[in-house]
A and B are shown apart, each in its own frame.
Chain A
Amino acid sequence: MSFFDTHLLNVVIYLPLVFAALVLMLPASEHGQVRTITFVGMLLDLVFGVWAYFRFEPSGSEFQMEFRVPWFQQFGMSYHLGVDGLAVSLLLLTVFLGPLVVLASTTYIQHRIKEFHLALLVLQTTMLGALASMDVLLFYIFFEAMLIPMYLMVGVWGAEDRRMAAVKFFLYTLVGSLLMLVAIVAVYFISGPPGTRSFDYGQLYNNLLAANQQLAACANGPEGACASLTGLAATLHTYGPWMFAAFALAFAIKVPMWPVHTWLPDAHVQAPVAGSMILAGVMLKMGTYGFWRFAIPLFPVAAHAARPFLAVLAVIGIVYGALMCLAQRDIKKLIAYSSVSHLGYCMLGLLAVTGEGATGSAYQMLNHGISTGALFLLFGFLYERRHTRLMSDYGGIAKVMPVFTAAFVIITFSSVAVPGTNGFIGEFLVLMGTFKSSLPLGFGAFATLGVILGAAYMLWMVQKVFFGSITHRENQHLRDMNVREMLTTAPFIVLVAVMGLMPQPFLDRIAPSTDRYVARASVGAPGATQAKDDQLRVEVMSLPSTAAVARPSVPAAPLAARE
């Protein structure tokens, strides 16, 4: 039982924080050192993250590398970490982006460098923490804390409208997640009599499971069959939809789904390259991840009821986002809206509740992180050179920046899901899952429209920026990518190819969580072949100490009360 058997996740999560402390000690004038230390930290974190990824045993138990100690117990919380297939994959994505983000910012960020890297490291920790949290409140804490560094990143190092964008981003997200907080506490209370309650994901889910099954049984039964419910099932019947709504809203804003997406373009456009990369790469996934892990499994019946509605929103997101891109003049805005479209695929795959769909959705999360991350990265390079985001200010620069163009076009193909790139696998699986699902065929058909529009807007942008003759004199002497920039871009391109040609190793890790997700989500579906309990129940380690479950503190012995 070595140190890493128990603490690997802790190491991965808090390593950036340790390095943040180191950076804090450096004098602010030592730019080089600050950057180096941060980079080294991220690199180390990548190493450990990869290790964790390979330690994860697809055929093993659902949650692995668990770590749990008592923390704030009177309140039903415990410090509980653990990752399943999806979480570990997203974790890999996060640590993968880390060092590249640092490299990407070396020339982009020119003032207040120390603060920037501090924010970067803290942000990394919060994101990793959110992914690995097995305690709902712990997740919430990381989920919220994540906002602060990102808010600063957008607001301090952003473009001209940064303050507006930062505040908008913060409040937009806050409103949703606060309502979710209420729902979390509420579900904690209904989850059982005092003594059996806990904010721990496993326990919470298992407490609700039986009731959910009853509820599903009656909800798909005759009209008014649910009136006879009692106890937890009855409470879920009345309040479940509301709680689900609260969860769904919080995560839908994060995804972002139409129509609560308008914070995204502003945030993306204003954020510095690092901000955009992380925002697109990891943060948006928190929304889909939340749906996958919390919103849908905890309230399968309500989720199933809301499914068509959400699916419609997702499809609207796909097509609408793509159409938005066609109307943009601003490259970053275009990429931002393309995110709306891509995340629409993720949501659709989730809501299809089929093995293919869910897998595709999970894979699409990774793809989007890579392709859109890379797009923002590359555009960042361009922005450093020209300081304009308007397509009309470019044109024909392929002549002067051939290598850059090649990289950009490759990523573009990945983003429009040309077979052989990673994008295709995800999109194909999602669409097939949608067709296979119980959703009407129209959903799939409309979603597939995105395939056309995607090509239309991305190539349009490439055309306007890179092809044709050079229209602006400023562009005539643009310098092509230097070694550092190539090194930053190369990993993305490699991954695009690798994940496109050999997706199976990645899919293998996602598969077990997919099956469980589908099983848990289809608890609410009518006539769905109900999986066995061992598929449904969440098996997690219990607290080492006996006081695993939170007992509300009962007042000390009856006092010298007179009456």
Chain B
Amino acid sequence: MDGITEFFRTAPIPPEVFSPSLGLIILLPLLGAFVCGVFGKWLGRANVHLVACSAIAGAFVLSLLAFWATSDAAGGRVVSMPNPFGIERDTIRYAIAHDYGTWFAAGDFRVNFGLLVDHLSGILLLIITGVGFLIHLYSTSYMEHDDGYWRFFAYLNLFVAAMLTLVMADNLVLLFVGWEGVGMASYLLIGFWYTDSAKAWAGRKAFVTNRIGDFAFLIATFLLILTVGAFNRQADARDFNAAGSSRARYEQGISQKGPVTFKGLEKLALALPEGTGGAVSLATPIESGPLSGYTFGGVMTSIMLLFLLGAAGKSAQLPLYVWLPDAMAGPTPVSALIHAATMVTAGVYLFCRMSALLVLSPTAMATIAIVGALTSLLAALIAFAQDDIKKVLAYSTVSQLGIMFMGVGMGVFWAAEMHLMTHAFFKACLFLGAGSVMHGNGDETDIKKLGGLWKEMKVTHATFLVSTLAITGIFPIMSGFFSKDAIFHGVHHNHLHGLEWVSTFVYVMGLLITAATAFYMSRVYLLTFTGKRSPEAKLAHAHESAWHMTLPLVILAFLAFITFTYALPLMPRTGGGTQPVFENFLSPVLRPAETVARVAETVHIDTSSPSLGDYAFAWMWALLGGGAAAFAYLKFFPSRVGQPVPVFARAVRRTAQNKFYVDELYEFILIRPVKFLAFILFRVVDALVIDTVLVRGTAYVTEKVGLGLRRIQTGDAQAYAAIMALAILGGAVYALVQVLS
């Protein structure tokens, strides 16, 4: 037993040896992308598959090693490294990092190619590369009939590289590179079948919507930089002590690593709370600089709200969720990887990464939670009425992301992170299942035209069922149930300072969402797999997919089941009691946040683990939803086929089907006006006022004056002489006046 633990606690490659090669994890997929993209055409299908998959596989192995290294505790010595922003004794444990030097520096600002892997990003590394690999494998079969395969794999590799950059970055700017990189890749992949302009438009919509988020992200970054500067000017020794740092070290850190490094921001967060004493606290007004007058707390809140907008763009939350459903235009593996498992969770990752700063501002947290809750419910309701299997899954993704945001917003970071992971598994599985269904049914996506597939596509059916149970929690011993419940439990018992009502509100919403999720997911499952095969089906008989596709399904389904163990309270909690495995696992990353929350008293974080009663209560809600669905689609509707549907029902259904007309609303209040404004400005201001009136007008007037003057030249010598005479007269008169005066 000890042998085993010892084995797991010693990394095969010691951290200090491994860390310099962290960059390879990004480089491999990038290389793959380059090769596939440039030479793919000549390489041929098989080679492209080989290159792409092996690139990801390599990245996966490396990630595994990296992950292993982060938990290395060979000989009881936990892996650790000095914190560049902290005092000498201050170390970062359970993390490995490497700094590849300056990316760019100007003025007193700098950004480094700094990579950091700790437990938080480690988990994501594994998800990205692992799930990514499975999906690559899946795609080799799924895209077998497409000529653009080389583009596809190039883009896919590119995406993975960007996503890895996002999670491994140790500073905001580098993270932003990944942040936009994944957006770019998803733009390319959504519009992969560009000949269908609707799909291409969907890609653009995704990119531009994301850009709206990035706009907020950028501004937030700049404000953060300003705040760091202000803090640096105003803070005194006690502040730095409270943060476990010293002015000298802190400034050195900033000059070496740049102001927006996460470790540095942590220190800032640790120094800001009132409890720490010192010259700077949340209530302190900033003295000089562009921000002068605002308090640190206020600025922090607005920064976090801006980040929320940014995250909403990437993670499809209100008000920017609209792009995700359209993004289903892309190939299904893409939807699985990008729009379910990885990219869309970037927002959640961002907040976990900056949890220490986030907990400084209850307002922001409350907003995040509420936004999450509303998005989640809205999406769930829309999902009720969708008939396109991918659309349903898309909305369910939005809904699940909303749940994660609720968790983040209420300070249950570990649970949110865990749900991120489990969701990655079961949602990927669901999407791939859907893909497999489409693949086997001539690309039919309308669940009304499927049905009865459980006989024909056994593996797909089984995995789909497992994942459905996982997401709904109808069968409680499933990862989804536990992770979701962990969030709701935390949401229920955590309290935001001054905003206690939020937790209740969000909790109630959560219960409704549970039921709703159970309902629409069961609906999809029932309509797709059970019952009789629909008469409108494209193919008389569906066929099961090849192993490339089913193997990933099985693995993912298994993962979707097994990972519930992480939520079990097996680990000893420091200071007595037990805590869930995952919380314990993430604690090195999240400790600063807890400290800040404790000191600043912004969030009261409850550490109790749910009792069986809680579990039962949550389960009941899931059963409720599932039961309703079962009743409706097994009994109710089949029984009254042919009977007219009541008007109100149809109205409701239509509204839901049309996504509550949100897209139309945006079109009407946002896009149209901007286009109109542009048109007016161009026609009126630019073309008419500036160019015609002012510019050409000047020329015109000049010419006309010339024409007028020219009329004086009558050709009559005597007239000329007369004018001369008059001029002389005038001159003489002037002269005489001069004399007399």
- Residues of A whose CB lies within 8 Å of any CB of B are 168, 171-172, 259, 262-263, 320, 323-328, 354-356, 359-360, 396, 398-399, 406, 413, 418-420, 424-425, 428-429, 431-433, 435-441, 444-445, 448-449, 451-452, 455-456, 459-460, 463, 466-469, 501, 503-504, 507, 511, 514
Q: Are A435 and B226 in contact (CB under 8 A)?
A: yes
B102 at interface by CB-CB < 8 Å: yes
B196 at interface by CB-CB < 8 Å: yes
CA distance A295 to B53 in the complex (A): 57
Q: Are B290 and A327 in contact (CB under 8 A)?
A: no
B109 at interface by CB-CB < 8 Å: yes
Residues of the A chain whose Cβ atoms lie less than 8 Å from the Cβ of B283: none
Q: Give 23 pairs: A residue, B residue, CB < 8 Å, sorted on A.
A: A168-B695, A171-B699, A262-B691, A326-B674, A354-B107, A406-B37, A419-B179, A420-B181, A424-B177, A429-B109, A431-B222, A435-B226, A436-B222, A439-B290, A440-B290, A448-B215, A456-B208, A460-B204, A467-B195, A504-B103, A507-B105, A507-B106, A514-B107
Interface string of B211-230 (1 = CB under 8 A from A): 11011001100110110010
Given contacts A418-B184, A436-B290, A467-B200, 6 further A-B contacts (CB under 8 A): A262-B695, A327-B675, A419-B181, A448-B215, A460-B204, A503-B103
Residues of the B chain whose Cβ atoms lie less than 8 Å from the Cβ of A327: 675, 678-679, 681-683
CA distance A263 to B679 in the complex (A): 19
CA distance A469 to B674 in the complex (A): 27
Known pairs A259-B690, A324-B678; A503 contacts B104 (CB<8 A): yes
Q: Which residue of A lies closest to B41 (CB)?
A: A402
CA distance A563 to B505 in the complex (A): 106
Selected contact of B208 from candidates A356, A436, A452, A504, CB within 8 Å: A452
Residues of the B chain whose Cβ atoms lie less than 8 Å from the Cβ of A168: 695
Selected contact of B180 from candidates A419, A435, A444, A469, CB within 8 Å: A419
Selected contact of B677 from candidates A323, A355, A398, A418, CB within 8 Å: A323
Q: Are B222 and A355 in contact (CB under 8 A)?
A: no
CA distance A452 to B695 in the complex (A): 31
CA distance A448 to B215 in the complex (A): 6
Q: Which residue of B lies closest to A468 (CB)?
A: B197
B16 at interface by CB-CB < 8 Å: no
Residues of the A chain whose Cβ atoms lie less than 8 Å from the Cβ of B181: 418-420
CA distance A325 to B290 in the complex (A): 32
Residues of the A chain whose Cβ atoms lie less than 8 Å from the Cβ of B694: 259
Residues of the B chain whose Cβ atoms lie less than 8 Å from the Cβ of A325: 678
CA distance A263 to B695 in the complex (A): 9
CA distance A549 to B686 in the complex (A): 47
Q: Are A504 and B695 in contact (CB under 8 A)?
A: no
Selected contact of B222 from candidates A262, A323, A413, A432, CB within 8 Å: A432
B558 at interface by CB-CB < 8 Å: no
Interface string of B647-687 (1 = CB under 8 A from A): 00000000000000000000000000011011101110010
Q: Which residue of A lies closest to B201 (CB)?
A: A463
- Residues of B whose CB lies within 8 Å of any CB of A are 37, 102-109, 173, 176-177, 179-181, 184, 187, 191, 194-197, 200-201, 204, 207-208, 211-212, 214-215, 218-219, 222-223, 225-226, 229, 289-291, 674-675, 677-679, 681-683, 686, 690-691, 694-695, 699
Residues of the A chain whose Cβ atoms lie less than 8 Å from the Cβ of B222: 431-432, 435-436, 444
Q: Which residue of B lies closest to A466 (CB)?
A: B194
Residues of the A chain whose Cβ atoms lie less than 8 Å from the Cβ of B109: 355-356, 429, 432
B379, chain A: closest CB distance, angstroms: 24
Q: Are B104 and A467 in contact (CB under 8 A)?
A: no
Known pairs A436-B225, A452-B212; A359 contacts B207 (CB<8 A): no
CA distance A435 to B224 in the complex (A): 11
B124, chain A: closest CB distance, angstroms: 19
Q: Are A469 and B104 in contact (CB under 8 A)?
A: no
CA distance A452 to B219 in the complex (A): 12
Q: Are A467 and B197 in contact (CB under 8 A)?
A: yes
Q: Are B194 and A504 in contact (CB under 8 A)?
A: no
Q: Are A433 and B107 in contact (CB under 8 A)?
A: yes
CA distance A433 to B108 in the complex (A): 11
A26, chain B: closest CB distance, angstroms: 39
Residues of the B chain whose Cβ atoms lie less than 8 Å from the Cβ of A324: 678, 681-682, 686
Q: Which residue of A lies closest to B198 (CB)?
A: A468
Residues of the A chain whose Cβ atoms lie less than 8 Å from the Cβ of B675: 326-327
Q: Are A355 and B106 in contact (CB under 8 A)?
A: yes
Residues of the A chain whose Cβ atoms lie less than 8 Å from the Cβ of B290: 435-441
Known pairs A324-B681, A356-B109; A459 contacts B215 (CB<8 A): no
CA distance A441 to B208 in the complex (A): 24
B36, chain A: closest CB distance, angstroms: 13
Q: Which residue of B lies closest to A356 (CB)?
A: B107
Residues of the B chain whose Cβ atoms lie less than 8 Å from the Cβ of A425: 104
Residues of the B chain whose Cβ atoms lie less than 8 Å from the Cβ of A452: 208, 211-212, 215
Residues of the A chain whose Cβ atoms lie less than 8 Å from the Cβ of B200: 463, 467-468
Q: Are A356 and B218 in contact (CB under 8 A)?
A: no
Q: Which residue of A lies closest to B180 (CB)?
A: A419
Q: Which residue of A lies closest to B108 (CB)?
A: A355
Residues of the A chain whose Cβ atoms lie less than 8 Å from the Cβ of B196: 468-469
Q: Are B226 and A436 in contact (CB under 8 A)?
A: yes
Residues of the B chain whose Cβ atoms lie less than 8 Å from the Cβ of A469: 195-197
Residues of the A chain whose Cβ atoms lie less than 8 Å from the Cβ of B677: 323
Known pairs A359-B107, A448-B218; A459 contacts B226 (CB<8 A): no
CA distance A326 to B680 in the complex (A): 11
Q: Are A431 and B218 in contact (CB under 8 A)?
A: yes
Q: Are A419 and B177 in contact (CB under 8 A)?
A: yes
Q: Which residue of A lies closest to B225 (CB)?
A: A432
Q: Are A511 and B106 in contact (CB under 8 A)?
A: yes
B472, chain A: closest CB distance, angstroms: 38
Chain B CB within 10 A, most for which of A354, A406, A424, A432:
A432
CA distance A507 to B104 in the complex (A): 8
Residues of the B chain whose Cβ atoms lie less than 8 Å from the Cβ of A441: 290-291
CA distance A285 to B214 in the complex (A): 28
Q: Are B226 and A428 in contact (CB under 8 A)?
A: no
Q: Which residue of A lies closest to B101 (CB)?
A: A504
Selected contact of B194 from candidates A431, A440, A448, A467, CB within 8 Å: A467
A56, chain B: closest CB distance, angstroms: 18
A394, chain B: closest CB distance, angstroms: 12
Residues of the A chain whose Cβ atoms lie less than 8 Å from the Cβ of B682: 323-324, 327-328
B73, chain A: closest CB distance, angstroms: 36
Selected contact of B223 from candidates A356, A424, A435, CB within 8 Å: A435
CA distance A397 to B162 in the complex (A): 28
Known pairs A359-B107, A419-B180; A444 contacts B195 (CB<8 A): no
Question: Lowest 10 CB-CB distances: which A-B pairs, in order?
Answer: A355-B107, A468-B197, A467-B200, A359-B106, A327-B682, A419-B177, A435-B222, A323-B678, A326-B678, A467-B194
Known pairs A359-B106, A436-B225, A436-B290; A320 contacts B177 (CB<8 A): no
A220, chain B: closest CB distance, angstroms: 16
B687, chain A: closest CB distance, angstroms: 9
Residues of the B chain whose Cβ atoms lie less than 8 Å from the Cβ of A466: 194
Residues of the B chain whose Cβ atoms lie less than 8 Å from the Cβ of A437: 290
Residues of the B chain whose Cβ atoms lie less than 8 Å from the Cβ of A504: 102-105
Known pairs A418-B180, A419-B181, A451-B214; A467 contacts B191 (CB<8 A): yes
Q: Are A356 and B197 in contact (CB under 8 A)?
A: no
Residues of the B chain whose Cβ atoms lie less than 8 Å from the Cβ of A398: 194-195
Q: Which residue of B lies closest to A433 (CB)?
A: B107
B185, chain A: closest CB distance, angstroms: 11
CA distance A444 to B196 in the complex (A): 38
Residues of the B chain whose Cβ atoms lie less than 8 Å from the Cβ of A439: 290
Residues of the A chain whose Cβ atoms lie less than 8 Å from the Cβ of B180: 418-420, 424
CA distance A240 to B682 in the complex (A): 35
Residues of the B chain whose Cβ atoms lie less than 8 Å from the Cβ of A323: 674, 677-678, 681-682
CA distance A284 to B102 in the complex (A): 31
Q: Which residue of B lies closest to A462 (CB)?
A: B204
CA distance A468 to B191 in the complex (A): 10
CA distance A437 to B289 in the complex (A): 8
Q: Which residue of B lies closest to A503 (CB)?
A: B104
